[in-house]
Each structure stands twice: as structure tokens, then as C-alpha cells.
Amino acid sequence: MKKIIAFSGSNSSTSINQQLVKFMASQLKEVEVEVLDLRDFEAPVFGTDLEAEIGSPESMKALFEKMSSADGFIVSTPEHNGYMPAVFKNTIDWLSRMGRKVFNEKPVVFTSASPGGRGGASALGQMLGVMPHQGAKIVGSHSVGSFFDNFKDGSLIDGEDKEAIKKILSELEATV
């Protein structure tokens, strides 16, 4: 069975992006899904001096190894001041130094979620612009805005967001 790795770019214990990722994972029927939490892969702030001193942190090696086993990815990013959060950028910086592209030329669905109306669309737009350079073959994307109106009891409520998410997930299942 093909394997999807799903995670959010958040280190919040109450992350709405992680909640969205878990919901998306629950919708996949044809593939195995492993949901990761960046809180289990803490890393110091990347710097070339630190890298020269320690190489890669064990946490980043472990994450890289897990990602190597995946046939595809679901990634949901929060938006912090218009950008992806520092913890997510830091993770990508470490992973980008390990000898092959982070997403390994595999299919990826990118989403974002925010309590605001735009749903983190700026951060999502950055993903779509930069992650192909990290080997992401983007098969779909969607921003979920007004999260607390649109997500109840672990699930997106029926409506446009849920339909859009279903569509990109079926693209992912068809592509892996």
C-alpha cells in the first residue's frame, strides 16, 4: 500500500492546521497515512556555523528518514505575519541540507488554515512558489479560512471547503 506522510508546519499543542491534517488523513481510504507532529522533531535554529559543528540534529535525521519512506505528502501551514511560521522554515532549512530534495519529487497537497477570512492564503502561496524547488510535485492546494466557523468536532462542516479538500485528496490518491 502506498504511504502518505501528513504534518502541519505548527508547533502549537492546539494547532488548527494539525487538526485539519488529522481530518484530511481520516478521509484517505486507499493509502496508509502517518500523521507527524513537528513538536516531536524539535531542532535548534539553523545556522551554517552550528551545522559545521554538529552536522544535522538527530530529530532532523529522523524526520528526513521518515519522509524518505513516503510516496506522497499532506502539509498544512499556518500563517505568521504573512509567512510560514519560523518552526516550519527552520525544519525545511535543516532538511534541505541532507543530500536530496525534501519532498523527493513526490506528490504533495498543500493547505493552510487560519481563524481569519483569508485562511493563511499568503503563506500557502509561498508554499506553492518555493516547495517545487524542494522536490514537491504539487497536486492540489486549498486555504481554509474562518476555521472556527468551518471546523466542528474534528471535521470540516459540509460546504465549499470540505468539497475542495475532498477533491485535492482524491487527486493525491490517484497520483501516488
Ligand X SMILES: Cc1cc2nc3c(=O)[nH]c(=O)nc-3n(C[C@H](O)[C@H](O)[C@H](O)COP(=O)(O)O)c2cc1C
Residues that bind ligand X (CB under 6 A): 8, 10, 12, 15-17, 78-82, 114-116, 118, 120
Name which of 168, 163, 167 is nearest 150 in CA terms. 163
How near is the Cβ of 120 to ligand X at its closest, in Å? 5
DSSP character for 59?
H
State which residue, 116 or 159, has the beta carbon closest to ligand X. 116
* Euclidean distance between CA atoms 134 and 104, whole angstroms: 8
For residue 103, give the C-alpha cell.
519532498
State which residue, 33 or 38, has the beta carbon closest to ligand X. 38
Decide: 31 and 176 in contact? Cβ < 8 Å: yes
Give the number of C-alpha atoms closer than 13 A to the C-alpha of residue 147, restricted to the C-beta side: 24
Strands (E) across 13-135 are located at 32-35, 72-77, 106-113
State which residue, 16 or 136, has the beta carbon closest to ligand X. 16
State which residue, 31 or 83, has the beta carbon closest to ligand X. 83
How near is the Cβ of 9 to ligand X at its closest, in Å? 8
How near is the Cβ of 8 to ligand X at its closest, in Å? 6
How near is the Cβ of 16 to ligand X at its closest, in Å? 4
Decide: 6 and 14 in contact? Cβ < 8 Å: no
